[in-house]
Amino acid sequence: MKVELKEAKAVILPAEGESFDPTRIPQAVKDAGFSPGEIEVTAAGTLRERDGLLRLEMSGPVAEFVLADGEKAEELKKRRDLRGQRVRVTGKLYPSHADRPPGLTVEDWSQPED
């Protein structure tokens, strides 16, 4: 973890080969006595569309993110050839609501080489 107090910014990375639940970050920040700001997440998984929603399916503590909004959301949604393919998405985390999983905006995306 890298913390920059002047910028009120922290970078949290899992240990190599490990993963963690980024949806727990806001509460951890609150528990430490601070107010959480925007949380940017980069996640890799399989791109799917279900119930009219674009989703990133992953293994690990968070099984999927709903992908919506963001600078490149429409661009990714138009890429129907990527359904079922592995993609990496960077975006702002937003909490789950109703019966939906947590979500990410799509600020950037790529196809990982791994």
We report the CATH number of the domain holding residue 39 as: 2.40.50
The reported pLDDT for the residue numbered 17 is: 78
**Domain that includes residue 62, residue range:** 2-110
Asked whether the beta carbons of 73 and 67 are under 8 A apart, the reply is: yes
Instruction: Find the helix or strand (DSSP H, E) in which 37 lies.
Output: none
pLDDT tens profile 9-52: 777 777 787 777 888 888 888 888 888 888 899 999 999 999 89
- Of the pLDDT bands very low, low, confident and very high (cuts 50, 70, 90), residue 114 is low
> How far is Cα 109 from Cα 88, in angstroms, rounded to an integer?
5
Contacts of 81 (CB under 8 A, 6+ apart): none
Count of structural domains, the chain: 1
